[in-house]
Amino acid sequence: MIRTSKHLKKVSQYQPPSRKRSRKVKLDLNENMLGCSPKVLDALKNIDWENISCYPEYDLLIEKTAAHYHVKPEQILFTNGGDDAIRCAIDTYIMESDRVLLPVPTFSMFEIQLKIRGARIRYLPYQPDFSFPFDTYHRSLCKGITMGIIVNPGSPTGKSIKQDQLLSIVEKANTHNIVILLDETYHHFSGKTNMELIKSYSNLIIMQTFSKAFGLAGMRLGFIASQEQNILQMQKVNLPYTVNSLAVIAGLAAIEDYDHINKVISQVNNEREFLYRELTKLGLRPHMTETNFILVDCGNYCNDIFQQLAERGILVRNISSNLRMEHILRISIGTRKEHEILIAALKEIIPSLK
Amino acid sequence: MIRTSKHLKKVSQYQPPSRKRSRKVKLDLNENMLGCSPKVLDALKNIDWENISCYPEYDLLIEKTAAHYHVKPEQILFTNGGDDAIRCAIDTYIMESDRVLLPVPTFSMFEIQLKIRGARIRYLPYQPDFSFPFDTYHRSLCKGITMGIIVNPGSPTGKSIKQDQLLSIVEKANTHNIVILLDETYHHFSGKTNMELIKSYSNLIIMQTFSKAFGLAGMRLGFIASQEQNILQMQKVNLPYTVNSLAVIAGLAAIEDYDHINKVISQVNNEREFLYRELTKLGLRPHMTETNFILVDCGNYCNDIFQQLAERGILVRNISSNLRMEHILRISIGTRKEHEILIAALKEIIPSLK
């Protein structure tokens, strides 16, 4: 047996929660089930062999993205999806034994990447009502901490941190040279990005993705925004041709069709309301979020409901083993049709369990 | 200024050697200028929004690739191009201060990834005739070495290591628990893969790419082959959705059209001969290779020729600052038309320099 990096002993493989998802009702991965802009598919109709056979170039995508968010192209670094943005930031700034603040529960990729680098993670539990643990987080920002992670809105907690609290954290972290890694994966649904803060704070690294509101999860397109000297450092651990040429074409078409994004956001908001009402009527306890998923407390029947939905080809995410998430299923916001299938199934399943 | 990982101080960003390559004669990046299989473009005509908006799945591509190379699916790990395969293997097995054997000159990504991890690199120069430094490499395989890298055929040296030498290295390394990372990026052109050796040697990690003979450089599709217990470890540092959905479709179509690969290989062989003859006629000293590029000793005019070709929109690679590569330009094998443009330009440039 060949010796691996010692930190890998504590790391487990990320297992995609479900596979062979084709032809199922996919309410498990917070994808955009309304689909990408039709202009993305149009743009991809015009590809030729050079798009396939030549190495990708994405200066134009960087320029357009920077312009869209009112930052400089030198402040943007594209990555192979949001996962790779997390990897790049952590690999650039975290060394063995560095201490990192991580509010939990959260997206598992943070813990995986931190463990790969041998970081010491200080887990800060969200409040019982899923709100951000501001007091403990703010108090923990002191000498000896290298990085603090904030996912905003939270995942799977679904709520935003208050803006004055976020500012107070970034400000205090800055005085201690602590990097704040701010994950804005779901920001379109909460309606608020903090991209403008990178102008003022050299310790702020923001990551975003084209996988959610833009509907490009299959394209693997994410990016980091930060001050130029930080981007130059992260470029060292970012692979030079990390984004696929067709992802570049898709990204360009997506970012130019903001009408589609607005439509997606409004439809997600409506459908989340619909699901909230229907789940309540069924006697379940949904939690409203500012994202494209909803949380549902299913009580003691949580695992049974999850299982029986899966048997019917309806995929949701069972997050009940997470801290604070006892009895909770996470359901992505899909189309009205998908929600009607889900509700109809629950109407059959729930009475059979009692 | 935020502190980065200390190893990054010694790492420079990989700068793509040329940009804005569209509409130029691209003989600089060893792409397949004959293009991918037409079946790849056909397959990509049938995509729908789910390919774009849902997270990728690539079990089928793993199965087909494993079957093609007569290994098990559990012995294959797909990566975001060959660069990412290098990153995964090095990140899994290399810790700070580990000693690694690296024959030079070689593809720069090895040195970048090794430096990121803080490895101590033992550089082993290729022979003056560009043949593999077998004696020093074999002698260096001893306690205290963690990994040895072999690029076969070499890049940019262009020659294969003798098969009995390779076996002798893998065998000796195995007795010392030294990982051999074998890069077979150009193996289609030399006609020899060592994939079957992973069955016998638990210390062997082979990496391949779809960027060269398959002509999918824009798709970012590479893979690692090794014994199952090694793949499980490398999976920890490999991102779960590292390959783009359209790359999966392209890869499936490419690997099923082996006739196209055979056509590419035969055309590359013919065109390399053509270029060799024509460059010789011009008074330059080409070096034959077993890859899809050729090396040309341009003497003292090397930089001038490189520059004047670039001014004419003809991109080749100036590798003359590399060890053993003084005065040498690397020219990718392209189409006959591209070669005629190149030769015509050289016929104008060379007399003007004397």
Nearest CB to A239; choose among B83, B216, B237: B83
Q: What is the mean pLDDT of residues A234-250?
A: 97
Q: Residue A153, preceding bond cis, omega within 30 degrees?
A: yes
Residue A279 in this model has a pLDDT that exceeds 90:
yes
Q: Say what the pLDDT of residue B147 is.
A: 98
Q: How far apart are CA B44 and CA A186, in angstroms?
A: 29
Q: How far apart are CA A18 and CA A217, in angstroms?
A: 15
Q: How far apart are CA B341 and CA B349, in angstroms?
A: 12
What are the Cα distances from residue A155, in Å, to A13, A109, A294, B22? Answer: 20, 12, 10, 41
State both tokens at A165.
Answer: 């609290």
Q: What is the pLDDT of residues B3-46, one digit of tens each?
A: 999 999 999 887 777 788 989 999 999 999 999 999 999 999 99
Chain A residue with the nearest C-alpha to that of B89? A4
Q: What is the pLDDT of residues B65-98, one digit of tens each?
A: 999 999 999 999 999 999 999 999 999 999 999 9
Q: Are A236 and B3 within 8 A, CB to CB?
A: no
Q: Say what the pLDDT of residue B19 is.
A: 81
Q: Residues of B with CB below 8 A from A45's CB?
A: 45
- Look at the block and give the residue holding tokens 């029986």: A308
Q: What is the pLDDT of residues A26-73, one digit of tens each?
A: 999 999 999 999 999 999 999 999 999 999 999 999 999 999 999 999
Q: Residues of A with CB below 8 A from B59's CB?
A: 19-20
Closest CA to A251 of A108, A21, A40: A40
Cα-trace Rg, chain A: 21
How many A-B residue pairs are in contact by the CB < 8 A criterion?
A: 243
Q: pLDDT band for position A12 (50/70/90)? A: confident
Residue ranges, CATH 3.90.1150.10, chain B: 17-32+259-353
Q: How far apart are CA B273 and CA B286, in angstroms?
A: 10
Q: Say what the pLDDT of residue A19 is.
A: 80
Angle at A212 between CA A94 and CA A132, to 5 degrees: 55
Other CB atoms closer than 10 Å to residue B164's CB: what's the count? 9
Per DSSP, the residues of B222-265 read: EEEE--HHHHHHHHHHS-TT-S-HHHHHHHHHHHH-HHHHHHHH
Q: Residues of B with CB below 8 A from A51's CB?
A: 218
Q: Say what the pLDDT of residue A17 is.
A: 74
CATH number for the region A15-32+259-353 comes to 3.90.1150.10
State both tokens at B336.
Answer: 């006959």
Residue B263 in this model has a pLDDT that exceeds 90:
yes
Q: Residues of B with CB below 8 A from A5's CB?
A: 91-95
Prediction pTM value? 0.97
Q: What amino acid is encoded at B2 in this protein?
A: I
Q: How far apart are CA B243 and CA B234, in angstroms?
A: 15
Q: Is the ipTM of this complex over 0.90?
A: yes
Closest CA to A334 of A18, A28, A34, A22: A34
Three-state SS at B71: coil
Q: Which residues pair with A100 in a beta bridge?
A: A121, A147
Chain A residue with the nearest C-alpha to that of B97? A5
Q: What is the pLDDT of residues A280-307, one digit of tens each?
A: 999 999 999 999 999 999 999 999 999 9
Q: Which residues fall within 8 angstroms of residue B290, CB to CB, at 6 or more apart?
A: B153, B158, B159, B160, B186, B189, B190, B191
Q: Residues of A with CB below 8 A from B231's CB?
A: none
Return phi, psi of residue A131, to 5°: -85, 160
Q: Which residues fall within 8 angstroms of residue A8, CB to CB, at 6 or more apart?
A: A116, B92, B233, B236, B237
Q: How far apart are CA A67 and CA B125, in angstroms?
A: 47
Q: How far apart are CA A307 and CA A316, in angstroms?
A: 10
**In percent, how much of chain A has pLDDT > 70?**
100
Residue B300 C-alpha, separation from nearest chain A C-alpha, in angstroms:
31
Residue B260 C-alpha, separation from nearest chain A C-alpha, in angstroms:
14
**In percent, how much of chain B has pLDDT > 70?**
100
Q: How far apart are CA B251 and CA B37, in angstroms?
A: 10
Residue B250 in this model has a pLDDT that exceeds 90:
yes
Helix (H) or strand (E) holding B336: helix B336-353
Q: Are A218 and B54 within 8 A, CB to CB?
A: yes
What are the Cα distances from residue A254, in Å, to A9, A131, A208, B6, B72? Answer: 40, 32, 14, 38, 39
- Cβ-in-10-Å burial (0-12, 13-18, 19+) of A229 comes to exposed
Q: Say what the pLDDT of residue A119 is.
A: 98
Q: Say what the pLDDT of residue A1 is.
A: 75
What are the Cα distances from residue B305, in Å, to A354, B302, B323? Answer: 82, 5, 20
Cα-trace Rg, chain B: 21
**In percent, how much of chain B has pLDDT > 90?**
96
Are B75 and B69 contacting, i.e. CB atoms less than 8 angstroms apart? no
Q: Say what the pLDDT of residue A14 is.
A: 79
Q: Which of A13-22, A272-281, B51-60 comes out lowest in average pLDDT?
A: A13-22
Q: How far apart are CA B191 and CA B176, in angstroms?
A: 30
**What mean pLDDT, rounded, does chain A reach?**
96
Residue A16 in this model has a pLDDT that exceeds 90:
no
**What mean pLDDT, rounded, does chain B reach?**
97
Q: Are B20 and A215 within 8 A, CB to CB?
A: no
Are B180 and B166 contacting, i.e. CB atoms less than 8 angstroms apart? no
Return phi, psi of residue A124, to 5°: -115, 105
Angle at A118 between CA A114 and CA A123, to 5 degrees: 50
Q: pLDDT band for position A349 (50/70/90)? A: very high
Other CB atoms closer than 10 Å to residue B58's CB: what's the count? 21
Residue B231 in this model has a pLDDT that exceeds 90:
yes
Answer whether CATH 1.10.1240.10 is correct for domain B17-32+259-353. Answer: no
State how beta strands B222-225 and B204-209 pair.
Answer: antiparallel
Q: What is the pLDDT of residues A190-228, one digit of tens each?
A: 999 999 999 999 999 999 999 999 999 999 999 999 999
State both tokens at B18.
Answer: 């040329």
Q: pLDDT band for position A101 (50/70/90)? A: very high
Architecture in CATH of B38-256 = 3-Layer(aba) Sandwich (3.40)
Helix (H) or strand (E) holding B125: strand B120-125
Largest CA-CA distance found in chain B, in angstroms, rounded:
60
Are B104 and B123 contacting, i.e. CB atoms less than 8 angstroms apart? yes
Residue ranges, CATH 3.40.640.10, chain B: 38-256
Q: What is the pLDDT of residues B281-325, one digit of tens each?
A: 999 999 999 999 999 999 999 999 999 999 999 999 999 999 999
Q: What is the pLDDT of residues B186-230, one digit of tens each?
A: 999 999 999 999 999 999 999 999 999 999 999 999 999 999 999
Give all strands of the β-sheet with A179-183 in edge-to-edge order.
Answer: A76-79, A222-225, A204-209, A179-183, A145-151, A99-104, A120-125
